[in-house]
Amino acid sequence: MKLPIIAASLLLATVAIAGFFALAERTDVDSKHVETSSLILFAGHAISLQAKDAGATPRSDQIDAIVKRPLVDAWGRRLIYRVNSENAAKPFELYSLGPDGVDESGAGKNIDFWSVAKMMGATE
């Protein structure tokens, strides 16, 4: 991964810190939600930046090399990543199964990149 991609990812993660503090103050959100949301935001932006740099959304087998850390949520489950070629506005899905471990395709109690990015004001 190129240095500008890493720097941009770190900047976006830093900007979102204040939003995570506000998220942590909500009564329905615990530290595991905040930890998982932070990982998803960091990974999602790294994937987005790599996609722009390469001109294509990364495949599933490329994600670990891009993010350079295990994509495991605070409940110990691997994050779900899928390329979404049918939606140019959201070219990939990245989400945690959340506290209940039920796959709702990023909805319900799942924690997904696009919702977290929007909530934190970190969408492009």
Residue 69 located in a structural domain: yes
Q: How many domains does the chain have?
A: 1
What's the average model confidence in pLDDT over 76-97?
A: 93
Confidence of residue 85 (pLDDT cuts 50, 70, 90): confident
Going across the sheet that includes 80-83, the strands are 80-83, 92-96, 111-112
- What are the helix (H) ranges across 16-124? 17-25, 31-54, 63-67, 113-119
User: For residue 124, is it within any domain?
Assistant: no
Q: The tokens of 6 are what?
A: 């890493």
Domain contains 85 = yes
81 lies in some domain: yes
- For helices 17-25 and 3-15, the axis angle rounded to 10 degrees is 40
Any domain includes 60 = yes
Provide the domain limits for residue 81.
3-119
- pTM score of the predicted model: 0.76
The rounded percent of the chain whose pLDDT value lies above 70 is 74
